[in-house]
Structure 1
């Protein structure tokens, strides 16, 4: 028998509070950092938090499956699938920068039905259920009403493949820099999406993101009243370039991000 999202949410938030304690405990310790790629890191904390979450969430929803960053064999979620990033912002974590998040999304009925973004070092937990709005520490959050783009704060991120895509990335960034009030790069897509949902940023865009980077934040932004699409304004799906905004500056951002022959 399927458990309703509202009941699931309470159980998941209990698990997230425990995982946040684990992150904060590890925050005080020396970092044991290994390389997955030239600039792609993994720490013992990533592994420990992911193992904890998989064990506890399987108890919350027996029979559920996982697409989790450090152990995923597929990027395609099935029904009742937890999509997990144990430490989004591992590079930040390794350097003691507090923009570090745990992101948990539940894929159900062809979409993200529940999402939690916990930013444990900064003491903020964002969550949403489909049709239930977006929340932070028990208070409702909404996207901003700020426009035009010249008065908007935009966030972005850079892919691990930056050495191959630097010209494309810098070209987009240049166009946004001259049109927006400012651009920020905190290094954790889940945090950026939560901040769009909370009205702190008017827009966030990034390419080459994985399902665990975006699942929970995607739902947060939509439930907070915002818009999430690909760069060209068409429907977002895992594996596509992501643009999330307050809706009011969305078309302006699409116009800046789309260039001939690029999505």
Structure 2
């Protein structure tokens, strides 16, 4: 089955421009059962994109973050290709008027990611990657820049909330990097890492719709990642995963060594 990456990017860009931007900082948010946030924008974007994907690729299975757990169950076991959508990654930022959120879409085939798109509508930055074409930013080839830095001179994106307390305390009391940020959108975090806006990354727990597209783009652009257990980050499952990343191999080795990770791939 042929998936036109340019057409897919156009679908995502239109949906974000027409459904997200008019609602930015103007919608109420509510808590879902898992404690995360939901707004009418999440639902509107998911419905819009799901309908357009069905129109062009009716046989491809659709998995969206805002589906119920019962609806999601078993979908990843399908023999058919699967869309995996986070219609609004960074919902709490979006509702509060903080300009850091994105739409994230990946395509899974035979248990692997083969295509990813992350679109930041406020900056009009569309990150994309496929197995065939590599990674791009607004259509321009994208390669992770080598940092030329050792760990103590880097900027890190760290999500402390979901880390084990012992590790979080160690990072605060013995920070191995020069500076630390936490922005609130996993998909966009990976893309900012891809551009060299930060150098190392750590997140304790993210879901497949959070990380699959962004991490795929990062990987296709030459970045390095694993879990805190030293395993490949992506698994074809709904269980949450920890994430560790660095923009180049020397830095990845130094970062994982500091974290005490035994790489298994």
Scaled by the length of structure 2, what TM-score is found?
A: 0.86
Separation in structure 2 between the aligned mates of residue 100 and residue 152 of structure 1, nearest angstrom: 23
Separation of aligned partners in 2, 1:208 and 1:75: 21
Contact 1:206 1:242 (8 Å CA) reproduced: yes
The aligned residue for residue 228 of structure 1 is 225
Whether 1:174 and 2:194 are equivalent positions in the alignment is no
Structure 1 length as normaliser, TM-score?
A: 0.87
Offset, 1:60: 2.3
**CA RMSD, 1 decimal:** 2.2
Secondary structure in 2 aligned to 1:121? Answer: coil
Inter-CA distance 36–107: structure 2 relative to 1 (3 Å threshold)? same
Given the superposition, is the C-alpha separation of residues 227 and 137 from structure 1 closer, same or farther in structure 2, using an over 3 Å criterion? same
The 3-state SS of whatever aligns with 1:128 is strand
Match of 1:152 in 2: 154
Residue aligning to 2:141: 140
- Taking a change above 3 Å as real, the CA distance of residues 18 and 155 of structure 1, as seen in their structure-2 partners, is same
Shift in Å at residue 53 of structure 1?
Answer: 1.0
- Quote the residue 1:244 is aligned against: 245
CA displacement, residues 183-208 of structure 1 (integer Å, 9 cap, x when unaligned): 11000001110011112221212122
| Equivalence for 2:185 | 188
- Post-superposition CA distance 1:219-263 (Å, at most 9, x none): 101111111211243222343311122133112221233479xxx
How far apart, CA to CA, are the structure 2 residues paired with 1:17 and 1:244? 27
| Match in the other structure for 2:127 | 126
Aligned to 2:108: 107
Aligned position for 1:254 = 256
- Asked if the contact 1:156/1:184 (under 8 Å) is kept, the reply is yes
Residue 211 of structure 2 is matched in structure 1 by 214
Q: Is the 8 Å Cα contact of residues 155 and 177 (structure 2) preserved in structure 1?
A: yes
Contact 2:144 2:247 in 1 (8 A): yes
Q: Is the 8 A contact 1:85 1:103 kept in 2?
A: yes
SS in 2 for 1:97: coil
Residue 55 of structure 1 pairs with residue 48 of structure 2:
no
Conservation of the 8 A alpha-carbon contact between 1:221 and 1:244: no
Unaligned runs of 5+ in 1: none
1:40 aligns with 36
For the residue of structure 1 that corresponds to 2:85, the secondary structure is: strand
Question: Compared with structure 1, are the counterparts of its residues 215 and 76 closer, same or farther at alpha carbon in structure 2 (3 Å cutoff)?
Answer: farther
CA distance in 2, matches of 1:201, 1:121: 19
The equivalent residue for 1:14 is: 10
Aligned residues: 250
Which residue in the other structure is 1:117 paired with? 118
